[in-house]
Amino acid sequence: MTTNKSNPRALAVETLERVQNGAYSNLQINNVITTSNMSEKDVRLFTNIVYGVIQHKLTLNYYVDQLVRHADKLQPWVLALLDSALYQMIYLDKVPNRAIFDESIKIAKHWGHDGIRRLITGVLHTVGRRGLPDLNQIQDPEQRLVIETSTPKWLVEALQAQLGNVRTNHLLATINQPAHRSIRVNRHKTTPSELQEKLVAAGFTVRPSTVAADALVVSHGVAAQSDLFQAGFYTIQDESAMLPVQALPLTGSELVLDACAAPGGKTTQLAEQLPTGRVIALDLHAKKLRKIHENAERLGVSDRIETQALDARRVDEVFADRTFDHILVDAPCSGLGLVRRKPEIRYEKSMADVRHLATIQQAILTAVAPKVKVGGTLMYSTCTILNQENQENVSAFLATHPNFEPVVVPTAHQLKPDRATPELAIYPDDYASDGFFIAGFRKGSA
């Protein structure tokens, strides 16, 4: 199938087909944008259609099932075309139906045979005349929530059990809103107010974060394309992801283990605060370590970082007990807190994955615990929002490690005071950041 490189709708259908076949949406989107010759306005439409269809996938599938007999037999590209046309009709107020009809039918004609053109024309005209199938026909309230919010049943049930129905409804009603775009100020080179001034002078709109002390929130401007980024004045990182390092009591000369470190967002954050200290950064995958070096070079802190490919569950083979002043375990996790940025993540995981990851997380915590010096801190974090990978791991760790006690996670400057608890769970609808979880443990004795 060949696509005109400047047609945002055709490129969106092609991209959606690839995502249906297992490709990552953010990588595909970046790839298409860099190789296409779309205008800025068309890039926005293309991105909006791809993310929008993925965000509303279960809702759109429901409509297609109601509107097309044997929808399960449709070829992936035909389904992607129907989904993207319906998405535009339902969710994009500013795009006239005429344009959606004409463009979709043109794509159907270009790629398909006449039967497909007739199918697409028929479906779009039916919706134009009679409106959409009514979601209230779905009798079971839980199934209705699954379809309305496009969230798999297992995840709806897990959230309801954890948060209750009211909070779950609020969270699911907001997961398709955009997350803040934020950057972390490189304290090794500048200060938040100085960088803010420089960015404003370069045409950006930025404000200090209410979540993390070293974060600025960018509402206008492409942070990854600025000369200030290339010169290492900041790194791109979510506000909530800055909190685990911010919560460590660093004085500047410590030896810190970052047990699950690539691509190095937190390794470099640690290094920026250790002028006379050192970070040992581990990752299971050797090829990911290169990214840590690239980031550290750009930020000017590479001489404070040592990397090593190692399974964190095997630290005992390499390091003596009580080697590190502090240890950070930013664990491999299901990543459900990133749902605003990676909308497909909710369809890719299952409760079995969550439980499997929880066993790995516990094994990592157990393996690294002896390597913390007495009086040092073991900081645990994930970018997920389910208790199974968070609070349940904390309870299991404390139950089996009586020599550790929970420490209050002193968070951001303006977080709600009632959040100053031993554990900090941030949900995506709290501050429009990624969902994150942080818990700290201080070692009281060997």
**218 near ligand SAM, judged by CB under 6 A:** no
Question: Shortest distance, CB of residue 262 to ligand SAM, whole angstroms?
Answer: 4
Residue 250 in tokens:
């660093």
Q: For the segment 347-376, give every residue that binds ligand SAM (CB under 6 A).
A: 364
Choosing from 109, 288, 401, 442, the residue that interacts with ligand SAM (CB under 6 A) is: 288
Known binding residues are 260-266, 283, 311, 330
> How far apart, in Å, do the first and last CA atoms of the chain sit?
64
Residue 375 in tokens:
């009086």
**330 near ligand SAM, judged by CB under 6 A:** yes
Contacts of 134 (CB under 8 A, 6+ apart): none
Question: Shortest distance, CB of residue 289 to ligand SAM, whole angstroms?
Answer: 9
For ligand SAM, the closer CB: 199 or 328: 328
- Any catalytic annotation for residue 383? yes
Q: Is the dihedral of CA 408, 412, 413, 414 positive or negative?
A: negative
Q: Which residue in 296, 383, 424, 425 is the catalytic one? A: 383
**443 near ligand SAM, judged by CB under 6 A:** no
- Contact range with ligand SAM by CB under 6 A, out of 218-226, 248-256, 278-286, 393-401: 278-286
* DSSP tag of 134: P
Choosing from 42, 311, 348, 392, the residue that interacts with ligand SAM (CB under 6 A) is: 311
Q: Tell me whether strands 305-309 and 215-220 are parallel, antiparallel or unpaired.
A: unpaired
Q: Is 62 helix (H, G, I), strand (E, B) or coil?
A: helix
Q: Is 84 helix (H, G, I), strand (E, B) or coil?
A: helix
Question: Rounded distance, CA 61 to CA 234, Å?
Answer: 41
For ligand SAM, the closer CB: 119 or 367: 367
Question: Rounded distance, CA 79 to CA 77, Å?
Answer: 5
For ligand SAM, the closer CB: 265 or 343: 265
**284 near ligand SAM, judged by CB under 6 A:** yes
Strands (E), 99-220: 182-185, 205-208, 215-220
Choosing from 94, 129, 285, 287, the residue that interacts with ligand SAM (CB under 6 A) is: 285
- Which residues are annotated as catalytic? 383
Per CB under 6 A, residues contacting ligand SAM are: 260-266, 282-285, 288, 311-313, 330, 332, 364
